């Protein structure tokens, strides 16, 4: 029964600790100050469909492997899994019904497609939002917040693949090349559709079978293919509106000083180009930082974190992003590990980051 799912003392203490850290983390956390990290506050899904007389609200999820999702689901006796968090720590009670089965949201559709570069599309998931398979990503927390807030049908459309950098694979159209000095050499870094990723200044480039922005082009094209066949992916939907984008990425860029140095410029262009490509100038945008990177970090990780924080509309650095772009500072939500190890597969990291991203999107949707 539900009463048995109340958090145990240890679990409650951990939640209070997370809240305390969140409250102390200056501006980045102020962006998400109202996050309800105690997910027990979220209502159980009522099992009812959305108002199908309205167009579907589409949210496109992009990034690399952690957006794909590596949070472990089973088993119930292993700390760090979703089953353990629900059954032994009393977390996320909205995920299970009174019989202990995973709940199903019939107002939120989840579709996941993937392909390498501009290659063919594979469909990995096309169903109502629920816990299915061995792993979860941030879509679970995102979907529950959006489903609770919106009366319209919600479509979470994830189009991404792992091991992709914003500075190369996901470089948006229109990105110019630039020069960067590294270890005594000056390198020409590829602009959109150039190849390879970089070459020494003054030398002739030797193109490879990949170009800057190839994954961006493919991910966008696959998302559009799903939308062109909407009935197949959201039966009964009467049209759609691109309402927002979610982005959790940055790991691969931290291994290249040139890419890290231009992460902010690339992210700004990425946001603007997505809105242009999907003809959605008013679509909201939420990104999450790398969970292991703490404010004050230096080096490539610090550059990426600062870039991600800078685009939040509340900083004022980009006035055009006020009220429509938000950043979730993930460090207080990370339960160990790092982005390159998928946070040890700890399901709570993926749930808590997803819940934070969903909450941030809801706050943006409330903006006039």
User: Token digits for 327?
Assistant: 């950043």
User: Hey, how many other C-beta atoms are within 10 angstroms of the C-beta on 319?
Assistant: 8
Environment class of 30 (CB within 10 Å of its CB; exposed 0-12, middle 13-18, buried 19+)? middle
Same-domain pairing of 335 and 245 = yes
Handedness of CA 278, 226, 56, 356 (dihedral sign): negative
Provide the CATH number for the domain around residue 350: 3.40.50.1110
Strand boundaries in 214-324, DSSP class E: 240-248, 284-288
User: Hey, how many other C-beta atoms are within 10 angstroms of the C-beta on 79?
Assistant: 11
The contacts of residue 49 (CB under 8 Å, 6+ apart) are 106, 107, 153
32: closest CA among 366, 355, 368, 252?
355
User: Token digits for 5?
Assistant: 């799912």
Same-domain pairing of 262 and 329 = yes
Same-domain pairing of 196 and 301 = no
Q: How many structural domains are present in the chain?
A: 2
Compute CA distances 319 → 123, 359, 363, whole Å.
38, 22, 18
Same-domain pairing of 204 and 221 = no
- What are the residues facing 200 on neighbouring strands? 187
Counts for the chain of helices (H) and strands (E), in that order: 11, 12
pTM above 0.75, yes or no: yes
Q: Are 279 and 320 in contact (CB under 8 A)?
A: no
Q: What is the reported pLDDT for 367? A: 85
Q: What is the reported pLDDT for 39? A: 55
pLDDT in tens, 329-355: 999 999 999 999 999 999 999 999 999
Same-domain pairing of 190 and 339 = no
Same-domain pairing of 239 and 305 = yes
The contacts of residue 236 (CB under 8 Å, 6+ apart) are 52
Same-domain pairing of 147 and 195 = no
Q: What is the reported pLDDT for 40? A: 53
Q: Which helix (H) or strand (E) holds 360?
A: helix 347-366
Question: Which of these three, 185, 212, 239, is where a domain ends?
Answer: 212
User: Token digits for 292?
Assistant: 């292991």
Same-domain pairing of 206 and 220 = no
How far is residue 135's CA from residue 242's CA, in Å, rounded to a whole number?
26
Same-domain pairing of 236 and 341 = yes
Strand boundaries in the chain, DSSP class E: 56-63, 71-72, 105-114, 122-129, 135-136, 154-159, 178-182, 185-189, 198-200, 240-248, 284-288, 325-328
Q: What is the reported pLDDT for 41? A: 81
How far is residue 359's CA from residue 68's CA, in Å, rounded to a whole number?
19
- What are the residues facing 199 on neighbouring strands? 188
269: closest CA among 204, 155, 173, 131?
173
153 preceded by a cis bond (ω within 30 of 0): no
Same-domain pairing of 47 and 147 = yes
Handedness of CA 118, 161, 141, 132 (dihedral sign): positive
User: Hey, how many other C-beta atoms are within 10 angstroms of the C-beta on 10?
Assistant: 11
Same-domain pairing of 185 and 309 = no
Residue numbers of the domain that contains 293: 2-167+213-366
DSSP state of 132: -
Same-domain pairing of 200 and 333 = no
Residues of the chain scoring pLDDT < 70: 1-40, 368
């Amino acid at each position: 029964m539900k009463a048995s799912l109340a958090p145990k003392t240890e679990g409650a203490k951990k939640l209070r600790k997370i809240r305390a850290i969140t409250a102390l983390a200056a501006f980045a956390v102020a962006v998400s100050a109202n996050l309800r990290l105690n997910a027990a506050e979220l209502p159980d899904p009522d099992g009812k469909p959305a108002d199908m007389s309205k167009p579907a609200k589409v949210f496109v999820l992009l990034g690399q492997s952690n957006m794909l999702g590596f949070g472990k689901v089973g088993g119930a006796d292993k700390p760090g899994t979703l089953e353990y968090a629900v059954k032994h720590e009393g977390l996320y009670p909205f995920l299970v019904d009174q019989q202990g089965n995973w709940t199903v949201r019939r107002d939120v559709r989840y579709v996941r497609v993937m392909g390498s570069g501009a290659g063919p599309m594979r469909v990995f998931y096309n169903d109502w939002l629920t816990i299915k398979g061995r792993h979860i990503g941030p879509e679970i927390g995102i979907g529950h917040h959006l489903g609770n807030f919106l009366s319209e049908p919600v479509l979470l459309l994830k189009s991404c693949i792992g091991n992709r950098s914003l500075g190369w694979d996901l470089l948006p159209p229109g990105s110019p090349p630039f020069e960067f000095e590294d270890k005594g050499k000056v390198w020409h870094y590829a602009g959109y559709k150039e190849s390879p990723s970089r070459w020494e200044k003054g030398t002739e480039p030797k193109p490879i079978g990949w170009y800057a922005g190839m994954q961006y082009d493919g991910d966008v094209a696959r998302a559009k293919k799903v939308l062109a066949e909407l009935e197949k992916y959201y039966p009964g939907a009467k049209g759609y509106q691109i309402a927002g984008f979610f982005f959790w990425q940055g790991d691969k860029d931290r291994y290249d000083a040139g890419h890290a140095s231009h992460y902010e410029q690339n992210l700004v262009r990425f946001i603007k180009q997505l809105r242009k490509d999907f003809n959605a100038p008013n679509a909201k945008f939420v990104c999450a930082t790398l969970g292991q990177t703490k404010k004050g970090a230096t080096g490539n990780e610090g550059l990426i974190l600062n870039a991600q924080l800078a685009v939040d509309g509340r900083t004022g650095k980009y006035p055009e992003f006020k009220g429509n772009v938000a950043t979730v500072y993930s460090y207080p939500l990370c339960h160990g590990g790092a982005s390159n190890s998928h946070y040890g597969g700890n399901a709570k990291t993926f749930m808590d980051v997803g819940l934070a991203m969903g909450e941030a999107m809801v706050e943006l949707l409330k903006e006039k």
